[in-house]
Amino acid sequence: MKKVSVSSLLAQKKANQKITALTAYDASFAKLFDEQGIDILLIGDSLGMVLQGEETTLPVTIEQMAYHTRCVSKSVQTALVMADMPFMSYATPAQAYDNAAKLMSAGAQMVKLEGGEWLLETIQGLVQRSVPVCGHLGLTPQSVNVFGGFKVQGREEEKAQKLIDDAIALEKAGIQLLVLECVPTSLGQKVSAKLSIPVIGIGAGSHTDGQILVMHDMLGISANYMPKFSKNYLIECGDIRQAVCQYKEEVRNGIFPSSAHSFE
């Protein structure tokens, strides 16, 4: 299989071929997911919740992210490796440049930042310095205390339009992917249609250009709860490799997410 790149992901969007993504935090699972043909592996700051038992992603440090990025990148041959920039690691452009360099040096091929218009200068600077960037809008977990919990975003017309405007601005600033989390299906469809870059949904309906899930949710082993937008594939298959394959096929064939895993 050819190495997945931002160019090949863009070609998938243009060909209307759904993109598949999962989080990964260690070499063994990363190798398994890579061998099953998952397009993108994200070292998510979700590791704070699923690995460390934290209530939010906020305590995760850049050193921890770099460590797990190094573990994942060592065993990946094909998938695009993307790493989250953790809370307050990109509060200023200069800080973002330093911390992005740590993740790229650890093996990331792209970094992901949460936020809208306020990040434009930072994104432009990262791209100018040869760091590919993925944006993240909608429910941005690092803003959980501002939102007052993990809540669906963009249900009101004004907030939906603001999200669309932010997405367009982020693309103009240079992002090459966008993760869109916990928004109504109709909004996910509008954002995907507005942008020329791929939009990867998680709780954003079936009309985005691809889907991503936290691996612990997809395997039904999360310690806390199963989000509405996720699905336990392991319980249906009884085998991890088959579960990953079923997830991949259901995404590519438009079966997942169904209305049961989406927000109206």
Catalytic residues: 181
CA distance linking residue 200 with residue 210, whole number of Å: 5
DSSP state, residue 45: T
- Rounded to an integer, what distance in angstroms lies between the CA atom of residue 96 and that of residue 82? 15
**Can you spell out the DSSP letters for 122-143?**
HHHHHHHTT--EEEEEES-GGG
Binding-site residues for Mg(2+), in ranges, read: 45, 84, 114
**CB-CB contact of 116 with 137 (8 Å):** yes
Cis peptide before 257 (omega within 30 of 0): yes
Bridge partners of 143, per DSSP, are: none
Residue 14 and residue 16: Cα distance in Å, rounded?
Answer: 5
* Residue positions forming the annotated binding site for 3-methyl-2-oxobutanoate: 45-46, 84, 112
Residues annotated within a binding site: 45-46, 84, 112, 114
Residue type, 49: M
